């Protein structure tokens, strides 16, 4: 399973990229606004830090403008994945960009049937939002299970399941168990995967015992 970080904070991206754990980046208009930076130069900077896909979202909702925006975003770098909404116009743009060899991330997916449409339109990634479904007392992870099962029935579809709106490590664990291709998470959620009280306790014991030996490796 691939790890993408869901942020536009270039410092967090550099930090995670240095660990070797990072396979890509997803951004959205809200994250860009939070960064306080200019959109296009920021995407170019991120693409220079990360070798994997960097999702950059169109800002319009009509077909003609979305297509123009998508082509402009795709021209920034070879690893840009143009992000489009799961709407009739968005899927039309997805089809055209995908046919031209551009990676496309179809976002705001909330049903398995929407995911079927995205795959048929040639999406590189489909982004089901599990956390937002959980917020409505629906089962976000069941949506992932349904999409993974359906996609598995049709090997000619190459769309990867990119689990989005991840809120906590359990979402990541369940995604891995279900066979999702990618999870995209806020930096804090990825960094939280390191943590376990028994790791901390064991390390503290080892450090204390080493000090008692009076030795030094260096």
**Separation between Cα atoms, residue 154 and residue 152, nearest integer Å:** 5
What pairing do the DSSP bridges indicate for beta strands 103-109 and 182-185? Answer: unpaired
Q: CA angle, corner 24, sides to 149 and 86, nearest 5?
A: 50
DSSP sequence for 5-51 = EE---HHHHHHHHTTT---EEE--HHHHHHHTS-HHHHHHHHHHH-S
From the candidates 83, 95, 211, 212, give the one annotated as an active-site residue. Answer: 83
| 83 is known as an active-site residue | yes
Which residues are part of the catalytic machinery?
83
């Amino acid at each position: 399973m691939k790890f993408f970080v869901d942020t536009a904070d270039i410092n967090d991206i550099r930090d995670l990229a240095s660990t070797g754990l990072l396979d890509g980046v997803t951004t959205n208009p809200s994250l860009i606004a939070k960064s306080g930076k200019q959109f296009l130069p920021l995407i170019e900077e991120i693409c220079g830090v990360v070798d994997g896909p960097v999702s950059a979202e169109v800002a319009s909702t009509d077909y003609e403008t979305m297509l123009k925006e998508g082509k402009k975003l795709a021209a920034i770098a070879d690893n840009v994945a143009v992000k489009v909404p799961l709407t009739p116009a968005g899927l039309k743009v997805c089809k055209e960009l995908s046919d031209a060899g551009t990676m496309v991330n179809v976002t705001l997916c909330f049903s398995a049937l929407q995911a079927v449409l995205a795959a048929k339109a040639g999406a590189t990634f489909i982004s089901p939002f599990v956390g937002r479904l959980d917020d409505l007392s629906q089962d976000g992870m069941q949506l992932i299970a349904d999409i993974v099962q359906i996609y598995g029935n049709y090997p000619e579809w190459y769309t990867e399941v990119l689990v989005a709106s991840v809120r906590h490590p359990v979402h990541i664990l369940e995604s891995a168990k279900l066979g999702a291709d990618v999870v995209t998470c806020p930096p804090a959620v990825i960094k939280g995967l390191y943590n376990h009280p028994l790791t901390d306790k064991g390390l503290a014991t080892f450090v204390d015992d080493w000090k008692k030996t009076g030795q030094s490796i260096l």
